[in-house]
Structure 1
Amino acid sequence: MTAERAVPVRHRAGTASGERDPADRTDLTRGPVLRRTVSYALPVAASSLLQQSYLLVDGAVVGHYLGSSGLAAVGAAQGLVYLLSTGSYGLAGAFSIRIGQLTGAGHDQRAAQRALAAGTVFCSLVGFGLTLVLAGPALSAMGVGAAVAQDARLFLTTYSAGLLAVFGLTAISAVYGGRGDSRASMLLLGLGNVLNAGLVWWFVGPLELGLTGAACATVGASALAAGVGLSGLARQRGGRPGTAPTVATVRRELRTGIRIGLPITGQHLVIGLGATVLLGIVAKLGTAVLAGVTVIVRLELFASLVFLALASALSVTVAQNAGAGRPERGRTALAGCVRLTVALSVPVSVGLVAARDVVAGLFVADPAVTGVIGRYIAITYPFFVCYALMVVIHGYVTGLGRTTIPLVCTLLSFAAVRLPLSALLGDRFGVDGLIWAVVVGWLVGLGYTVFAVADGRRGRITALGRP
């Protein structure tokens, strides 16, 4: 993979006159809207698959060279890493939408990009400060043993010192994504993952740098990939050239980004904190159930990968067309994506339910654990289409800038319904009760999402409009 492929110089957001090339694959405001949306989604799905593959490599390297204690330390740190990253996720998601609008309208993007850069630096500094102050108490509150906690804190401190590189790569990828160039975004993130896999082996193995080396590998790979991405952005034009950005225009873009991004950050926080609570509920049911749920999380991530990518693509499609003053294309894309989601999710569900014993056996041989996995698939996957539809429709409302809808949905379906039901039904009915809580959460989430979108059609949920 070369730097030239990671950021194709042929991509232009506009011509000198401000008009976009009708044949430009990044222009989601023209051509068959569903085909353009799916074409955008494919590289996103490939990027997610590559990310999951890297995580497997990373775990294998750490486990091989540092043993179970190293794996335990990284595992203990991962939840805190996710929480540290929520601000960056919210900011990147917000500016992907905003840059999508500006791209659709053909407007200059420099003020938005500078606002994103300022926000990224701020999130990095805050994340580093929080790690120094709270990493120790947080690990202690999680009940992590002293030796593992010490290693996890070392990993977190080293990692957080390089958050600017990690968050910077996320931000640069968001710029490419907002412009409609998911292929460049995929290649950029893929470059980071490949570099990361190589560096983590080199640092942890031959150089024997331990967990410090594992953290440095992520930071170093992110910095190198971000440098490639920045060089590509410097060679591209972001919309029709306008007046130079001022402090006032950058501040205005930053306020817009914060308004869109805060609900995204809140949603990630709810998921991260809720997952910690759910882990405690599951742990009460025994080691076999906990092991089964660990496998289920990975399985569900792979099953959902295509639909998460489709949601991301739909979000950018809607944002670009809102900016171009063509909201009807966004609605057409939504209708097509809903049909496609049903057409894809039903065979996935049928196949997994029919082959649930085989699927469970691919991950583990323990009959107690495979029984939990098989039972989960049998109960939940007939309803998987509900989850897939909810995810895809969230992409639509996010593209409109109405990011509070996914946040409220997460609060309602996950925090208010699934977590209490998991505790209540798990105590009373065991594993089956825990599993049915998942189904109820999906149904409530889809019901609220459909209601919110229907409300919007009556005029109470509207697009942000043209920039």
Structure 2
Amino acid sequence: MTQTTKEMTSGPSLPLILNFTFPLLLGNVLQQTYSLADAAIVGKFLGIDALASVGASTSVVFLILGFCNGCCGGFSIPVAQKFGARDYVTLRRYVSVSLKLAAVMSVLIAVITSLLCALILRTMRTPANIFDGAYIYLLITFAGVPCTFFYNLLSSIIRALGDSKTPFWFLLFSAVLNILLDLFCILVLEWGVAGAAIATVFSQGVSAVLCYFYMYRKFDVLKPQGSDRRFRPELAQQLLYIGVPMGLQFSITAIGSIMLQSANNALGTACVAAFTAAMRIKMFVMCPLDSLGMAMATYSGQNYGAGKPDRIWAGIKSAALMMVVYSLAVALVIWLAAEKFALLFISPDETEIIADTALFLHINVSFFILLGSLSILRYSIQGAGYTKLAMFSGVSEMVARVLVSVVVVPLWGFWGVCFGDPTAWLFANLFLVPAFIYVYRRLHLIVAKERVLS
């Protein structure tokens, strides 16, 4: 039995996007469960210093893994576009070339970043009492980059064909495996923070293997024919042209995050622990916004390929409605229960750290509409193939976080850290709104020209 694909080039946009987003959301929630499980188990069983060790390099991990994930998302855009255009031969060739590029890129990234771990942590002013734990956690995470790269690439390809459910089921299995391995490695084998990192890397590797075998066994349009497996430099160039700017967008954004986290690290271990717990909770509750954006990338890509720019605008309006409803709801929940969420990671007697964690969450969720707008517009622009514009929005975020780190944090301390992300979201939106207007007009011109020529 073969798996059917799903087109989003006709029919009402809201139910299409909602149905496509839901499995993505569940998958993102599970992926964040990796981080939640690591932090919660480490914080409860190994203590505040160990929790700070896991979180001291969060922004650096985001820089590297964000680049990988951005490249994967970029590699899947031509797949979505060719699927929307029903050009299945070129689609298969793009998939084959993307896998070869992923193999080379992921190994190179893993080697280079693993060699630079100590330098990175020293540059970020990591406190001496948590340096060793932070180093081993970062080293194992970087060594496992190929697992993360391939899972994200394969799941992105599957989603580009309209199937957002299957990657979720594989991720569900891996999330459960990750939690069990966390407990086994930390409590039974007593491997400390290294055990948490190993559990996460191994679990993502399992997801990647499952996605690979499923993809080629179940999708008829992916089954290679003739010379489809041959490496094609012209397709590789096109994939890199789209994927690298998307990866750089995340990395450029992360540079600002590194500056912000470095400023926070200088405030001491307690602030690092509060930042770690708050970031894990924030990343979890922002999953629906990320998922909505990812759905818009596929939706936009397919409708761009089908020559239907008006459907992209209709999709953005539908996504914006869902985003506003969720942002208001989650803000209410976090304002009422932030301290209780903090207790997942922190002992009740650590009252100062709990208060700082709640402060960070209260400020950030109050600006989630800005984050949701950013996600919808950025991914829609990427799906239409204008990845360089999306990258420049990352530059806006970086500038905002650097300004907050250099000017605001020295004056306001942890309060300044709390306003770092909302300021970055505002700066990004100031760029993305006019950028989308430009892209939308360009798409109409392209479609009009194609109709004249045909």
TM above 0.5, yes or no, is yes
Tell me, yes or no, if the aligned pair for 1:188 and 1:229 is still in contact at 8 Å: yes
Paired residue type of 2:74: A
Tell me, yes or no, if the aligned pair for 1:95 and 1:178 is still in contact at 8 Å: no
Tell me which residue corresponds to 2:431: 448
**1:193–1:462 CA distance, 2 compared to 1 (3 A):** farther
Tell me which residue corresponds to 2:164: 182
Q: How far did residue 41 of structure 1 move?
A: 0.7
Does residue 1:53 correspond to 2:33, yes or no? yes
Tell me which residue corresponds to 1:326: 308
Tell me which residue corresponds to 1:408: 392
Once structures 1 and 2 are overlaid, which stretch shifts more, 432-441 or 250-259?
Answer: 432-441
Identical pairs, percent? 24
Q: How far did residue 173 of structure 1 move?
A: 1.0
**Structure 2 unaligned residues grouped into runs of 5+:** none
**1:218–1:439 CA distance, 2 compared to 1 (3 A):** closer
- Where in structure 2 are the equivalents of 1:318-397 lying within 5 Å? 318-349=300-331, 351=332, 356=335, 358-360=337-339, 362-363=341-342, 368=352, 372=356, 383-397=367-381
**1:457–1:357 CA distance, 2 compared to 1 (3 A):** closer
- Where in structure 2 are the equivalents of 1:43-442 lying within 5 Å? 43-63=23-43, 70-76=50-56, 78-108=58-88, 109-144=91-126, 149-209=131-191, 213-235=195-217, 236-238=219-221, 244-245=227-228, 247=230, 250-283=232-265, 292-349=274-331, 351=332, 356=335, 358-360=337-339, 362-363=341-342, 368=352, 372=356, 383-412=367-396, 414-428=397-411, 438-442=421-425
Q: How far did residue 368 of structure 1 move?
A: 5.0
Q: Name the CA distance, whole Å, in 2 between partners of 1:228 and 1:373.
A: 37
Q: How far did residue 125 of structure 1 move?
A: 1.6
Q: Name the CA distance, whole Å, in 1 between partners of 2:368 and 2:211.
A: 36
Tell me, yes or no, if the aligned pair for 1:310 and 1:392 is still in contact at 8 Å: yes
Tell me, yes or no, if the aligned pair for 1:87 and 1:123 is still in contact at 8 Å: no
Once structures 1 and 2 are overlaid, which stretch shifts more, 439-448 or 251-260?
Answer: 439-448
Q: How does the TM-score come out when normalised to structure 1?
A: 0.81
**Structure 1 unaligned residues grouped into runs of 5+:** 1-8, 14-25
Tell me, yes or no, if the aligned pair for 1:401 and 1:463 is still in contact at 8 Å: no
Q: How far did residue 462 of structure 1 move?
A: 7.5
Tell me, yes or no, if the aligned pair for 1:165 and 1:226 is still in contact at 8 Å: yes
Secondary structure of residue in 1 paired with 2:4:
coil
Does residue 1:39 correspond to 2:19, yes or no? yes
Tell me, yes or no, if the aligned pair for 1:131 and 1:156 is still in contact at 8 Å: no
**Of the two structures, which has the highest relative contact order with CA contacts closer than 8 Å and spacing of 6 or more?**
2
Tell me, yes or no, if the aligned pair for 2:242 and 2:387 is still in contact at 8 Å: yes
Once structures 1 and 2 are overlaid, which stretch shifts more, 418-427 or 70-79?
Answer: 70-79
Q: Name the CA distance, whole Å, in 1 between partners of 2:193 and 2:14.
A: 45
Q: Name the CA distance, whole Å, in 1 between partners of 2:101 and 2:317.
A: 34
Q: Name the CA distance, whole Å, in 1 between partners of 2:256 and 2:134.
A: 21
Q: How far did residue 213 of structure 1 move?
A: 4.5
Q: Name the CA distance, whole Å, in 2 between partners of 1:158 and 1:430.
A: 31
Q: Name the CA distance, whole Å, in 1 between partners of 2:58 and 2:257.
A: 12
**Residue-pair matches, total:** 441
Q: Name the CA distance, whole Å, in 2 between partners of 1:216 and 1:379.
A: 33
